[in-house]
Each structure stands twice: as structure tokens, then as C-alpha cells.
């Protein structure tokens, strides 16, 4: 029996694939390669010494998905696939709603057909909107400030409704904070196609002189230095959280929601400073206008994941910066 990873060659999916293989799991990866690369398959094999089954399939392709489920014995799904840039979602809302929502409808429909009823969903801290207080707990009110976040929140509701309709389902909803870093080998990491949307790959590309300057969106937020504060988590810590969540839904039926973060907030300028100290590289930056849909401050209370999953993040900000730079230098 295998675990299906949708979007499994992407940043978080590839690191989770490594952790699952290291645990002795059998995995099948599907990806449409829009924001990932086929060479990640060989890199996963280099790191783990194990092969993975891969099919180039889009989650909007119902026939293709059905073929995957009929070819492999899929016992559970970790659902990463989706468009994920906040700014782009504001500019292209229809594309985001269609891809993320419709793709999930098709996936769950095919899962039901093949009696596969365990799913770990890659959600996001964006479902908390602009929180009134921090740290953020799972029971906080939910709202969104951009279409990307709205798709995540709607999918959470869909999966809860699926469970209500069929209590044989088991759903883990993982609300990520801000994943950065890379595998210690330097073989896999965050390598988006085109101009990066996330902070760390932008920083590393500027440090590598591939981009001239980092844009810091806004320095007039009500924070210690005026720049946005986020909870940055090492991607390997995040991947380990998926393994723990999968083990949880194998044991228990229900809908389980967990914040995956460190519980510490760092501003954009603090991240730049930490990167420069960890790597010795200079990062040129300029302050620009705020970005649509961004909020001032966001960091997690991750105590529920510790209590129920036995999961805690163990890698600090310096390690995140060093690993991200190591990956960028090697690729």
C-alpha cells in the first residue's frame, strides 16, 4: 500500500517524500511540473537510496488521477498540489479558485471511488486572516485577506463536510507558517520557476547576484522595525510534521487541525540580518510599498501539535539560513 503525494516534487512535497522514504514508506508522486522539476526525482533517490513511482498528472485531470489510483494501491493521500502565491492570487483569482478548489473536488471524488479515506491537507496560516492577537491558536476565528488563503479555508471546510458525510474518513489539516531552508545535503530546496514569491529564495538569489535587489514590502507596519513579522519554520521540521500527522490519521478517524510553526516571529529585516551573519553574504534590499493581502504579524502557538502528535520544530533560524544558502550555491 502506498501514500500518494500530490504536488510531490515541489518544495515541501519533495522534503516530505524524503522523510517518508526514510521511515520505510512506499510513495507515489504526481506533479504537473508547473513549479517543479523532474530532476528532483533523482535527487530524492540520491538522498535516500530509494526509488519513487512518479506520474506526470494534474489534479484537474480526473482520468489521469483515476489511472494512478487503479495502477497503484493508494492507502492515503498527502495533498500538496495547488497554486500558492499570495500576490498572484490577488491578480488571478479565477485561476486560483479553479485550480485549488476544483482540483481538490476531483481528488476527493476519486479517493472515494477507490475507498481511500485518509488525507493530510497542506493548508496555511493565511486562514487566520489578520489575527487580533499572537501567538495564533487553532481555535482562533478564521478569515482571509486574499484568494489564495480563501481557497485553503474553503478546502478545509470541504474536507470537514466530507468527514461529516462519511465518518470513515480521517483528515489532518496542517496550517503551515513560513517554510524556509533546505535539505542538509543541498540537493533539494526551494527553487521556484521565474521570480520568487517567497522571501528566502529571493534573498538567496540576491546574495548569489542572480537578482539585483530584494524588495521589502512595507516598513510602516505596527512592528518593532516596521517590516512584517512571520514565523519561519525549517522545511525539514515541516516535513517531519507530515509524517506525524499521517500516523495520527492512520490510528484515529476524525478531522484534526494543527499549526506547524516555531512559535517565534522574525521581521523581514531580522531575517536579512540573520542570513548575512550565517553566510557572510551581503543582501541588497530596498523598501517598497506594501503588498496587497499582506498582514503585519503572524506566528504560531504550536503546542497542540506537540501534545497530540509529539511534534516540535528543532531547527533554528541560523540553520534555516545556512541550509537555504547551501542549496542555492549547489544549484
Round the CA-based radius of gyration of the chain to a whole number and report it: 19
Provide mean pLDDT across the span 188-208: 87
Predicted confidence (pLDDT) at residue 268 exceeds the cutoff of 90: yes
Q: Which helix (H) or strand (E) holds 48?
A: helix 39-48
Question: The C-alpha cell of 305 is what?
Answer: 501539535
Within a domain: 317: no
Identify the band that residue 87 occupies on the pLDDT scale cut at 50, 70 and 90.
Answer: confident
Give the whole-number percent of the chain exceeding pLDDT 70. 99
pLDDT reading at 229 higher than 90: yes
Average pLDDT for residues 98-108, to the nearest whole number?
98
* Mean pLDDT across 146-162: 97
Which structural domain, as residue segments, surrounds residue 114?
Answer: 2-181+232-261
Please state the rounded mean pLDDT for residues 167-180: 97
Question: Is the pTM above the cut of 0.85?
Answer: yes
Residue 262 cell numbers, joined: 516555531
Residue 253 lies in a domain: yes
CA distances from 80 to 96, 219, 273, 280, 311 (A): 14, 32, 31, 34, 20
Structurally, the chain folds into a number of domains equal to 1
Structure confidence at residue 191 as a pLDDT band (50, 70, 90): confident
Q: How big is the CA angle at 70 (ends 69 and 71), to the nearest 5 degrees?
A: 95
Determine the pLDDT at residue 18: 98
Residues counted in the chain: 331
Average pLDDT, the chain: 96
Specify if 162 maps to a domain: yes
Q: Say whether the peptide bond before residue 209 is cis (omega within 30 degrees of 0).
A: no
Confidence band of 48 (pLDDT split at 50, 70, 90): very high
pLDDT at residue 52, as a whole number = 95
**Residue 165 pLDDT > 90:** yes
Share of the chain above pLDDT 90, in %: 92
**8 Å CB contact between 124 and 176:** yes
Cell (9 digits) for 105: 473536488
- Evaluate if residue 277 carries a pLDDT over 90: yes
Residue 309, in any domain of the structure: no
User: What is the reported pLDDT for 27?
Assistant: 98
Mapping DSSP to helix (H, G, I), strand (E, B) and coil, where does residue 167 land? coil
What is the reported pLDDT for 130? 87
Which of 97-101, 237-241, 250-254, 292-296 comes out lowest in average pLDDT? 292-296
For residue 140 the three cell numbers come to 482562533
- Pick from 152, 49, 56, 139: nearest CA to 99: 152
Distance CA 103, CA 133 (A): 33
pLDDT band at residue 294 using 50, 70 and 90 as cut-offs:
confident
Instruction: Give catalytic residue positions.
Output: 148
Maximum Cα–Cα distance for the chain, whole Å?
A: 55
Cα 264 from Cα 153, distance rounded (Å)? 23
Structure confidence at residue 210 (pLDDT) = 92
Task: Tell me the mean pLDDT in the region 11-36.
Answer: 97
φ and ψ at 3, to 5 degrees? -100, 130
Q: Is residue 322 part of a domain?
A: no
pLDDT tens readout for residues 52-82: 999 999 999 999 999 999 999 999 999 999 9
The enclosing domain of 27 has a CATH number of 3.40.50.720
Find out whether 301 and 137 touch, Cβ atoms under 8 Å. yes
Residue 197 has pLDDT above 90, yes or no: no
Count CA atoms closer than 13 A to 249's CA, side-chain side. Answer: 30
Q: What is the pLDDT of residues 297-321, one digit of tens each?
A: 999 999 999 999 999 999 999 999 9
Q: Is the pLDDT confidence value at 292 over 80?
A: no
Establish if 16 belongs to a structural domain.
Answer: yes
User: Residue 132: pLDDT above 80?
Assistant: yes
* Residue 91, domain member (yes or no): yes
Amino acid at each position: 500500500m502506498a501514500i500518494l503525494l500530490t504536488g510531490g516534487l515541489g518544495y515541501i512535497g519533495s522534503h516530505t517524500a524524503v522523510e517518508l522514504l526514510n521511515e520505510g514508506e512506499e510513495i507515489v508522486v504526481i506533479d504537473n511540473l508547473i513549479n517543479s522539476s523532474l530532476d528532483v526525482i533523482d535527487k530524492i533517490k540520491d538522498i535516500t537510496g530509494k526509488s519513487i513511482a512518479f506520474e506526470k498528472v494534474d489534479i484537474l485531470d480526473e482520468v489521469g488521477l483515476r489511472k494512478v489510483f487503479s495502477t497503484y494501491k493508494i492507502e492515503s493521500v498527502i495533498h500538496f498540489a495547488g497554486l500558492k502565491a499570495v500576490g498572484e492570487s490577488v491578480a488571478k483569482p479565477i485561476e486560483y479558485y479553479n485550480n485549488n478548489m476544483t482540483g481538490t473536488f476531483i481528488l476527493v471524488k476519486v479517493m472515494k471511488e477507490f475507498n481511500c479515506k485518509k488525507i493530510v491537507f497542506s493548508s496555511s496560516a493565511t486562514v487566520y486572516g489578520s489575527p487580533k492577537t499572537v501567538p495564533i491558536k487553532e481555535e482562533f476565528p478564521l478569515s482571509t485577506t486574499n484568494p489564495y488563503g480563501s481557497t485553503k479555508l474553503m478546502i478545509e471546510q470541504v474536507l470537514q463536510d466530507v468527514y461529516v458525510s462519511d465518518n470513515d474518513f480521517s483528515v489532518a489539516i496542517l496550517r503551515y507558517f513560513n517554510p524556509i531552508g533546505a535539505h542538509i545535503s543541498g540537493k533539494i530546496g526551494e527553487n521556484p520557476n521565474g521570480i520568487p514569491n517567497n522571501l528566502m529564495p529571493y534573498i538567496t538569489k540576491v546574495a548569489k547576484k542572480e537578482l539585483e535587489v530584494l524588495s521589502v514590502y512595507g516598513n510602516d507596519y505596527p512592528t518593532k522595525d516596521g517590516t512584517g513579522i512571520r514565523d519561519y519554520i525549517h522545511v525539514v521540521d515541516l516535513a517531519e510534521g507530515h509524517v506525524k500527522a499521517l500516523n495520527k490519521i492512520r490510528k484515529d478517524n476524525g478531522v484534526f487541525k494543527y499549526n506547524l510553526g516555531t512559535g517565534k516571529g522574525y521581521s523581514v529585516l531580522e531575517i536579512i540580518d540573520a542570513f548575512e551573519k550565517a553566510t557572510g553574504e551581503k543582501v541588497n534590499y530596498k523598501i517598497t510599498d506594501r503588498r496587497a493581502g499582506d498582514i503585519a504579524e503572524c506566528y504560531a502557538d504550536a503546542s497542540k501539535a506537540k501534545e497530540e502528535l509529539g511534534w516540535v520544530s528543532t531547527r533554528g533560524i541560523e540553520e534555516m539560513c545556512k541550509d537555504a544558502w547551501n542549496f542555492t550555491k549547489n544549484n
